Amino acid sequence: MRVSPWRKALIRAEIKNFRWHDLRHTWASWHVQNGTPLNVLKDLGGWADIQIVLKYAHLSADHLAEYANNSNNNVTNLLQSQSNS
């Protein structure tokens, strides 16, 4: 039985249970990690439903950093007003 070059590469890399979908997942993951907007990734990947793309969104929180501290002043003001009462 002839072993394909692809199969040989997987064996050399000690990759077991490889699925072609893994490459699609890696491709989408790299896009998310590099800031590709999810609606753009949906179109690039040809997904009909944004819910599929959201599976990759957990890989990067960078898009949240801009908004993470938005409530700090309100929380601080609320806590200060509670302690002054």
- Taking the C-alpha atoms of residue 23 and residue 73, their distance in angstroms, rounded to an integer, is 43
pLDDT tens profile 2-22: 889 989 999 999 999 998 888
CB within 8 A of 46, min separation 6: which ones?
none
Cα angle for residues 56, 60, 62 (degrees, 5° grid): 145
3 state DSSP class of 31:
helix
pLDDT tens profile 18-59: 988 888 888 988 888 888 888 999 999 999 999 888 877 666
Task: Decide: residue 47, CB within 10 A, 0-12 exposed, 13-18 middle, 19+ buried.
Answer: middle
Residue 2 phi, psi (nearest 5)? -85, 130
